[in-house]
């Protein structure tokens, strides 16, 4: 059996590499031609375009890997079936699972590795690619925000500001309400502005209104500068929400979701995309099951049918995943279901096809 496994991997790995190069080239060409008119209008030098293309390569590898695995397994097993090379194997009592075990194990290893590859390499390079694209095309992104309301310390501190200046990390027209653990009103602070210093907000020209337990006004204080230990909500919470989960590492995405929850902003979309990181990493395992079961169904035009099936199955899988994620973002299903539903459905389909495949 070891000899047979070595033979399969020897035929599978070169096919996988060729398929990877093919699909990466397609994705790179699509990206280049989609932005070609922008590059020409901005007179972007060729060196800058090549650098953007190079930075986009890890992302292309991430997208191409599942499709390439599906194609390579389908093509390898399809050739064996078409040439009747597996008649002796199945006639000897070996099952399809025993035959394809090294392929499934390889896909499982790739799934675990792709999660760290995505987090450590793909995301930083993709973020740098987007940043460089904006720079060479003269596009700017501002995170300054107006009419900001933020909840902090489990809704015990409520910020309301007329404007947040992202470049200066300052708030203008600030009002802060402080509540006790029971939700009763304690005191209120009004300030012309506030700046972020020493991990907390320093309120300028502050007016502090103090109330008793029954909510009745007690006294009023004025301070040129005023600070409080609970004014520690970071500036990121006041930014205009235009951050992309696709450009964040797992730790950054988790912190961002927690920040959205803490400050009262909608968070289900970000949470769904955070959960989707793991399910997407396991995509090679799903496509390996599907391709092992599909490989024996093509007896003619193996190359064309393997390529067509890999593209069709990948498109259906990604569309199903997009639909589930969209339903989760709209609140129709929980974020965890939206991130994992497509994976579990296709994993079940792959297992059924695998068991019913002709051997």
Q: Please report, for the domain that includes residue 191, its CATH number.
A: 2.60.450.10
Domain endpoint, select from 219, 238, 257:
238
278 and 131 inside one domain: yes
Question: Alpha helices of 138-235 — where are they, by DSSP H?
Answer: none
Pick from 31-45, 128-142, 259-273 the range whose average pLDDT is largest. Answer: 31-45
Domain-embedded: residue 245: no
Residue 278 falls inside a structural domain: yes
Quick check: helix, strand or coil at residue 325?
Answer: helix
Between 29 and 351, where is the model more confident?
A: 29
Query: What is the model's pTM?
Result: 0.72
Contacts of 105 (CB under 8 A, 6+ apart): none
Same domain, 6 and 133: yes
Asked if 128 and 39 sit in the same domain, the reply is yes
Quote the pLDDT of residue 236. Answer: 80
Domain identity same for 308 and 349:
yes
- Answer yes or no: do 193 and 334 share one domain: no
CA torsion sign for 9, 10, 15, 17 is positive
Q: 281 is in which domain, residue-wise?
A: 2-138+270-356
Q: Are residues 55 and 133 in the same domain?
A: yes
Please say if the pLDDT value at position 19 is more than 70: yes
Interhelix angle 302-329/335-356, nearest 10 degrees: 150
State the pLDDT confidence band at 358, using cuts at 50, 70 and 90: low
Strand (E) or helix (H) holding 225: strand 217-226
Domain-located, residue 171: yes
Residue 248 covered by a domain: no
Shared domain check, 110 and 18: yes
Handedness of CA 63, 66, 70, 75 (dihedral sign): positive
Q: How many domains are there within the chain?
A: 2
Is 292 inside any structural domain?
A: yes
CA–CA dist 268, 136 (Å, integer): 33
The pLDDT of residue 270 is 86
Whether residues 126 and 169 fall in one domain:
no
Read off the pLDDT of each residue in 353-357 and give the average, rounded to a whole number: 74
Q: What is the pLDDT of residues 81-116, one digit of tens each?
A: 777 776 777 767 677 777 888 898 999 999 999 999
Residue 290 forms part of a structural domain: yes
User: Using CA atoms, how far apart are residues 286 and 317, in angstroms rounded to an integer?
Assistant: 10
Q: What does the pLDDT read at residue 311?
A: 74
Q: Which of 48-57, 176-185, 287-296 has the highest average model confidence (pLDDT)?
A: 48-57
| 278/133 same-domain check | yes
Within-domain flag for 227: yes
Instruction: Give, to the nearest 10 degrees, the angle between helix 268-281 and helix 302-329.
Output: 150
Mean pLDDT of 316-328: 90
Which residues partner with 149 through β-bridges? Answer: 160
Residues 91 and 152 in one domain: no
Q: What is the mean pLDDT of residues 252-281?
A: 82
93, 170: one domain:
no
State whether 34 and 119 are in the same domain. Answer: yes
The rounded distance, in Å, linking the Cα atoms of 38 and 48 is: 13
Q: Give 218's contacts (C-beta < 8 A, 6+ positions apart).
A: 210, 211, 212
Q: Is pLDDT above 90 for 293? A: no
Q: Answer with the one of 217, 238, 259 that is the final residue of a domain.
A: 238
Does residue 258 form part of some domain? no
Burial category of 147 from C-beta neighbours within 10 Å (exposed 0-12, middle 13-18, buried 19 and up) = exposed
What are the tokens at 191?
């300030």
* Span 141-185, pLDDT tens digits: 677 888 888 888 878 899 999 999 988 899 999 999 998 887 778
What is d(CA 49, CA 133) in angstroms, rounded to the nearest whole number? 9
Mean pLDDT throughout 217-221? Answer: 82
Burial of 192-214, coded b for 16+ CB within 10 Å and e otherwise, reads ebbebeeebbbbbebbbeebeee
> Is residue 215 very low, low, confident or very high in pLDDT (cuts 50, 70, 90)?
low
């Amino acid at each position: 059996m070891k000899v047979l496994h070595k033979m399969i991997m020897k035929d599978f790995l070169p096919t996988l590499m060729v398929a990877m190069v093919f699909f990466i080239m397609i994705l790179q060409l699509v990206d280049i031609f989609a932005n070609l008119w922008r590059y020409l209008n901005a007179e972007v030098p060729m060196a800058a375009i090549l650098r953007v293309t190079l930075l986009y390569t890890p992302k292309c590898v991430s997208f191409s890997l599942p499709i390439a695995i599906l194609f390579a397994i389908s093509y390898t097993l399809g050739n064996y079936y078409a040439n009747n090379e597996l008649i002796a194997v199945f006639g000897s009592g070996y099952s399809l699972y025993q035959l394809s075990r090294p392929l499934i194990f390889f896909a499982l290893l790739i799934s675990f590795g792709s999660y760290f590859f995505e987090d450590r390499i793909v995301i930083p390079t993709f973020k740098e690619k987007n940043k460089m694209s904006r720079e060479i095309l003269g596009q700017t992104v501002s995170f300054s925000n107006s009419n900001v309301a933020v909840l902090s310390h489990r809704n015990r501190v409520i910020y309301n500001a007329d404007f947040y200046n992202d470049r200066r990390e300052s708030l203008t027209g600030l009002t802060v309400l402080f509540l006790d653990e029971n939700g009763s009103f304690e005191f209120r602070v009004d300030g012309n502005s506030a700046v972020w210093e020493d991990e907390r907000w320093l309120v300028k020209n502050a007016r502090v209104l103090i109330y008793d337990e029954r909510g009745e006004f007690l006294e009023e204080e004025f301070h040129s500068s005023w600070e409080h230990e609970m004014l520690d909500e970071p500036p990121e919470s006041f930014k205009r929400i235009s951050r992309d989960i696709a450009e964040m590492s797992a730790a950054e995405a988790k912190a961002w979701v927690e920040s959205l929850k803490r400050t009262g902003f909608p968070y289900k979309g970000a949470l769904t995309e955070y959960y989707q990181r793991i399910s997407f990493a396991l995509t090679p395992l799903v496509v390996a099951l599907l391709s092992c079961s599909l490989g024996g169904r093509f007896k003619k035009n193996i190359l064309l049918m393997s390529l067509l099936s890999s593209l069709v199955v990948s498109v259906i899988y990604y569309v199903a995943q997009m639909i589930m994620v969209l339903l989760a973002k709209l609140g129709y299903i929980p974020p965890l279901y939206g991130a994992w539903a497509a994976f579990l459905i296709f994993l079940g389909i792959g297992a059924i096809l695998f068991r019913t495949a002709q051997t």
